[in-house]
Amino acid sequence: MTHSRTIPSFHWSSLILVALSYSIGWGIRGNFGHEFGAMLAGTLAGTAVALCSGREDWRDRWPFFAFFGALGCGFGGSMAYMPTMAYMQAEGAANQLYGFFSTFLQGALWTSLGGMGMAWAASEEREKLTAVFKPLSWVFVLWVLQYFGEDAFVQWYQSHVPGLAADASGFRQRSPLYWLDSEWVEATLALVALCAYDLWDRRSATLAWLGHWAGLAGLAAAGGLVGWLVQLVLAKAGLLPGLLAMCVHVQGDTTAINPATELPFDPAFMITNWPSICYDFADYMGAVFGAIAGVSVYFSLFGQFRSGAKLLVYITVGSYLAFIIGPVLLSNIPFLKAHGGLRLVSPRGDSWANTLGALLGALLYMARNKQMPVFLAGVVSFVLGGLSFITATFVKILAYMPGNPALNPDPETVQRWAHWRSANWHSICTEQLVGFLYGLSVAVALGLLASRVKSHSGEPRVRKWTEAYVVSFLLNVLLYVNMVKCIRDTWTTTQSGGFQNVPALMKAPLFGFELSATAWFNLMFVAITLCTIAMLVTHYRRPLALIPVSHTGKGQLFYLLFLWAIVLGNYMRALTGFNEQRLATEGMVMVNGLIVTFMITSLLRDQKSVFSGEPANYWPLVKKWAVGGVLAFLACTGIYETVDWSVYGFKEHGVKHNRRFGAQADWIVKPILKDKGHR
């Protein structure tokens, strides 16, 4: 193996491979949506980053690059981003400038945690890197229960608990767990899992362990009692209504006129900044908050959170605090309340606050634990990701110029450009192009570390099972939660004409028992998963000839399997409603898939490596990127807005309209209502 002063991560082929990998995953994410869809991009890009690095120790760790890259990219997958782009094209300088800021922030949040996940896989010791799978698995168990059980719980709650605020309608904002469309349930379950893991991890002699439980129960009971008494005293003193007025407010303007009825909005059908379950048990909320405070005190004093659990606690607590402090509480400050609250896309969801808090928690953990390479990767990915999103949106604005009725209402001109304007520009620019730029962002962030992070070659290969864990998780679990959406979203959906492409119910051959299409799909995926696990177990006992010996070969095999599984799954999802506009998504994804197939198999430089040595101080680099990021954002905003203003002025651009400010702001004229479908 030859050593080189050049960095293979910055070779043109490496940058394009990582960028296209992210672009493919992000383009497919547009069809599947949310966190699970976003994880597809992190999986492909993370694998590509490791294989292109020119570092044998990174190539050895490709499963962890893929896994933690996927988890990082999954954060923020549920953020509503269409309004932020529409703000950039809305009427008025305030809306447009806010659009640049909010679009930048969302792009930055999407890429920063993904870049940090890959950087952590690159820089952390294998002992600590693999230890985190134990507490993380506890979190996954509760998330699996939520995935399969939340809907059933909500239905039971709404139908078996009479006289409460929730009801049995299909609108998700009427769920007792709906809280500004955020990720608070996921954060709560993660904290519960981590606390349970800590108790289990500290198990020792029976009496000592009973002492832990007694201390936890005692502090929870004491906190609950104090909270109940405080609520009782405040109520008796007549202070409780004033306190509630400071903390609780309706999400919207009750004096505004509903365009649909030409009457003021009815506050009874408007949501507030707290979930309805709090109102259902309002008399006990003091005790609940007190008990939570007591549990928090216990784990602050006695919790150890070993095996990487502390990192997960930082991320989860950060997610919770940012959401509670920001959209929930600070939104009631009069100035903010008069402008829709501290909410990025009011009245839409506030999972952005969860993601921002998770990022801040992760950065704080890395700074305190001297993981500055990961901190640097987070800053670089944040800056470049934000610039990527506003750039891609600006390109989309330019693409809509030809034949735009807002610029030239001449019918002949509009008709001449009709086909051009009918193209799926959303997919081309704000999914696949922005995905390409996101990929460049994480490629640059990890490229900066390739020659700086110390080598991990020769370290003990502890917990080999975690590699099989990762492969099975990505090939089976992640693919399942995305591909199962094909059934309910397209395959069994009634088409125009009254037919279904796949029957909702089907009988088993010969035996005649009947199962739903989803049940048959689940059975087949269980069989595939069992086969995958059996092959991995066999390989660790007796290497299979099918699986390459080299780290690069294994990574290539996984990459190709995962790539074509999601490409074909995406095509199958779109097939039932395929038209010429889908060529912009499925067609380009297919072509890009062929390109990266050639690149991943033919252009990797397995024989080269780079010199690596960790610099003494990362802070100068962090400061340069942070300051440079602010200046670059201001410069891009100024240039893009100047071009936009010279073409459109501060008028509407003739596309979908969203407004953050003004009398026609979304939160004023289009609030989330309990008797209307959620947007």
Average pLDDT of the residues in 582-591: 85
pLDDT of residue 656: 67
Token couple for 12: 């043109």
- What distance in Å separates the CA atoms of residue 478 and residue 144, rounded to the nearest whole number? 12
Average pLDDT of the residues in 616-637: 93
Number of Cβ within a 10 Å radius of residue 263: 8
Q: Residue 313 above 80 pLDDT?
A: yes
- pLDDT, tens only, 69-96: 999 999 877 788 888 888 888 888 999 9
Q: What is the average pLDDT value for the chain, to the nearest integer?
A: 89
pLDDT of residue 564: 94
Tell how far CA 373 is from the center of its chain.
22
Q: Residue 534 above 90 pLDDT?
A: yes
Apex CA 384: angle with CA 650 and CA 390, to 5°?
20
Model confidence at 613, pLDDT cuts 50, 70, 90, reads: low
pLDDT of residue 168: 45
- What distance in Å separates the CA atoms of residue 65 and residue 439, rounded to the nearest whole number? 14
Judge if the upstream peptide bond of residue 615 is cis by omega within 30 degrees of 0.
no
Whole-number Cα distances in Å, 196 to 245, 293, 305, 309: 35, 17, 10, 11
Place of tokens 């290539």: 556
Tell how far CA 413 is from the center of its chain.
41
Q: Residue 262 above 60 pLDDT?
A: yes
Q: Decide which of 385 and 510 is more confident.
A: 385
pLDDT of residue 81: 83
Q: Are 113 and 355 in contact (CB under 8 A)?
A: yes
- Round to the nearest angstrom and report the end-to-end CA distance of the chain: 56
pLDDT of residue 166: 47
Average pLDDT of the residues in 388-413: 87
CA dihedral 532, 535, 541, 546 (to 10 degrees): -130
Q: Are 450 and 5 in contact (CB under 8 A)?
A: no
Query: In sequence order, which residues have a C-beta less than 8 Å from that of residue 579 and are 6 or more positions away?
Result: none
Model confidence at 162, pLDDT cuts 50, 70, 90, reads: low
pLDDT of residue 309: 95
- pLDDT, tens only, 38-54: 999 999 999 999 999 98
pLDDT of residue 605: 66
Model confidence at 510, pLDDT cuts 50, 70, 90, reads: confident
- pLDDT, tens only, 120-161: 999 999 999 999 999 999 999 999 999 999 888 988 888 776
Token couple for 455: 């080598």
SS3 content of the chain, % helix, strand, coil (to 5): 70, 5, 30
- What distance in Å separates the CA atoms of residue 503 and residue 134, rounded to the nearest whole number? 41
Place of tokens 């010429």: 580
- pLDDT, tens only, 335-372: 999 898 999 998 988 999 999 999 999 999 999 999 99
Query: In sequence order, which residues have a C-beta less than 8 Å from that of residue 245 and are 6 or more positions away?
Result: none
Least confident of 235-244, 250-259, 466-475: 250-259
Q: Residue 3 above 50 pLDDT?
A: no
- What distance in Å separates the CA atoms of residue 374 and residue 378, rounded to the nearest whole number? 6
Highest mean pLDDT among 167-181, 255-269, 445-459, 665-679: 445-459
Least confident of 65-74, 541-550, 613-622: 613-622
Q: Decide which of 182 and 422 is more confident.
A: 182
Q: Residue 1 above 70 pLDDT?
A: no
Apex CA 657: angle with CA 95 and CA 392, to 5°?
70
- What distance in Å separates the CA atoms of residue 73 and residue 206, rounded to the nearest whole number? 42
Q: Decide which of 254 and 593 is more confident.
A: 593
Average pLDDT of the residues in 213-235: 93
Apex CA 85: angle with CA 84 and CA 86, to 5°?
90
Model confidence at 420, pLDDT cuts 50, 70, 90, reads: confident
Q: Residue 614 above 80 pLDDT?
A: no
Highest mean pLDDT among 175-184, 235-244, 305-314, 410-419: 305-314
